Structure 1
Amino acid sequence: MRIFLTLFGILLLTCLSPLAQAERLRIVSDDWAPYIYQENGQPRGLHYEVANEVFKRLHIDVEWGFMPWKRCLAVVEQGQADGILGVFKLASREPFMLYPEEPLSQVEFVLFQALARPHSVTTLQDLSGLTVGTSSGYDYGTAFDTAANFRRESAPTHVANLGKLALGRVDLVVTDLHVGRYLLQRLGLEQQIEALPTVINDMPQYLGLARKPGRQDLVEAFSETLRAFKREPAYANIMSRYGEQNPSLATTVEQQGVSTH
């Protein structure tokens, strides 16, 4: 009888667990190829495939939404979305956002230049008098964001930024190394634009989930499942298909908004 009651208790707790219920989440992100983007109206990308697989293993359905980065942050903070894919851990977000311990990837912001108009840049001081193309709502690190010796000029999309660089309307563009290289290949600009070796900022980016009752359990489950998935051949295959030769890299640059962002 005691064994029966114990098993019944376990079963009851399982049925009441938020992770066991048919939960549906709304996760938003900016268009951030090759990490997450839309193709023929469907979500694609390295982060998308990895996160989608983790959610499947947790038996959680996800509705994916795309919008400008600053709006992504706003809808999560306002409770209109359940989470955001590819975000930094910032103290300003702690009141409304939870993060798994396991990151999706490691950010690596670098500068891109036109080969026809090269610049020698090893420190932020070398940017004096120049105009650097940025993306609206992104956080490139305190040192870059607060430097007063150069001008920052925002563009609505990463493609627009690289187009301005190719046309000489900005001197440099800052973006994630992998995002920049991916877009240059798609735009056919690989022979016109290159990445500089100086890293402006690097730090891990995560899935961020809105703070709600029971979400801490989901955060922990997502982290453990992601960590286990990274050890499987299927994960290495996803990384390879998106040009990542080192699967351990999963621990890239972020679409961080300045809200101050």
Structure 2
Amino acid sequence: MPLVRLLLILLLTCLSPLAQAERLRLVSDEWAPYLYLENGQPKGVDYEVANAVFNRLGVEVQWDFMPWKRCLAMVQQGLADGVLDIFKVEAREGFLVYPDEPMSEVEFVLYQASARRHRVERLEDLAGLTIGTSPGYTYGGAFNESPLFRREPAPSHEANFGKLALGRIDLLLTDRRVGRFLRRQLGLGQSIEELPLVVSRQQQYLGLARKPGREALARAFSEELQRFRQEPAYAAIQARYDGADDFPFAVEQQERSTR
């Protein structure tokens, strides 16, 4: 038996009593199609993958959805055991442990109303405009710190699309896959357009509250996720959601700019 495999088995053997004795409470906001609620039930490509990996590890998980800033506060205050689909940010290393293997990759792009088009090829072209964003997110230093345009947060991704459709903001910034999913769900496919400029590409991870034993759980999760990615069950999850949002899922390794 290869040494790495043997060490992992020993790790999981040590982890099992802890996992069975503790039910993890994981939080996130709705970030469809990665994870979201449908008829009160969790769904989404990253939710399904994470749930499958935890099941293999024998870890029971309670999933709760809430606004993103509250998710971070819950973990920091010790009221939640982790958060799904979060970026690695240096300021969070004091209270979060990450598996080495990311859950997925996001690509932040801009959306505009078809009736109010803007020519945008670089960030400087946003001068004087109001850009819809999400509270608690960071989209990379160049976007976050630019004095050329105004960033206006909305309480939800759906609210941002509504504001854009009504002309209350000039553009909105979100992940490409999320934007395409919501544009279709909200019936805005003919009135809202996606712009080609990619503001940032970032990996998102499972973040576990920094407590005793969590480093071991993070390592076990990473190893099991790597194995799961080689199996037909993983490909089936990707195919199901790829068909839903018409955007090929990126398995390649490439921060939700702060998710």
TM-score, scaled relative to structure 1: 0.89
Q: How does 1:71-150 map to 2 (within 5 A)?
A: 71-150=70-149
State the shift of 1:192 in Å.
0.7
Distance in 2 (alpha carbons) for counterparts of 1:136 and 1:38: 20
The AA in structure 1 aligned to 2:251 is L
Partner of 1:215: 214
State the shift of 1:60 in Å.
0.4
Partner of 2:52: 53
Give CA-to-partner distance per residue, 1:182-231, whole Å, 9 cap, x none.
Answer: 00111110111111111111111100000111111100000010011111
Distance in 2 (alpha carbons) for counterparts of 1:226 and 1:146: 35
Distance 1:16 1:183, change over 3 A: closer
User: Share of identical aligned residues, percent?
Assistant: 62
State the shift of 1:252 in Å.
9.2
Partner of 1:39: 38
State the shift of 1:136 in Å.
1.2
The AA in structure 1 aligned to 2:256 is E
- Would the aligned equivalents of 1:109 and 1:177 in 2 still touch at CA under 8 Å? yes
- Would the aligned equivalents of 2:16 and 2:58 in 1 still touch at CA under 8 Å? no
Partner of 1:249: 251
The AA in structure 2 aligned to 1:144 is F
State the shift of 1:249 in Å.
2.6
- Would the aligned equivalents of 2:88 and 2:255 in 1 still touch at CA under 8 Å? no
**What is the RMSD of the two structures over their aligned residues, measured on CA atoms?**
2.1
- Would the aligned equivalents of 2:88 and 2:205 in 1 still touch at CA under 8 Å? yes
Distance 1:184 1:131, change over 3 A: same
Task: Give secondary structure in 2 for the equivalent of 1:203.
Answer: strand
Give CA-to-partner distance per residue, 1:50-107, whole Å, 9 cap, x none.
Answer: 0000000000000000111011011111111000000000110000000000001112
**Equivalent residues, number:** 247
Distance 1:248 1:199, change over 3 A: closer
State the shift of 1:15 in Å.
6.2
Distance in 1 (alpha carbons) for counterparts of 2:210 and 2:94: 8
Distance in 2 (alpha carbons) for counterparts of 1:22 and 1:122: 53
TM-score, scaled relative to structure 2: 0.90
- Would the aligned equivalents of 1:98 and 1:210 in 2 still touch at CA under 8 Å? yes
- Would the aligned equivalents of 2:68 and 2:136 in 1 still touch at CA under 8 Å? yes
Q: Which runs of 5+ in 2 are unaligned?
A: 1-8
Distance in 2 (alpha carbons) for counterparts of 1:90 and 1:30: 18
Distance in 1 (alpha carbons) for counterparts of 2:125 and 2:231: 43
Distance in 2 (alpha carbons) for counterparts of 1:135 and 1:143: 17
Distance in 1 (alpha carbons) for counterparts of 2:189 and 2:254: 21
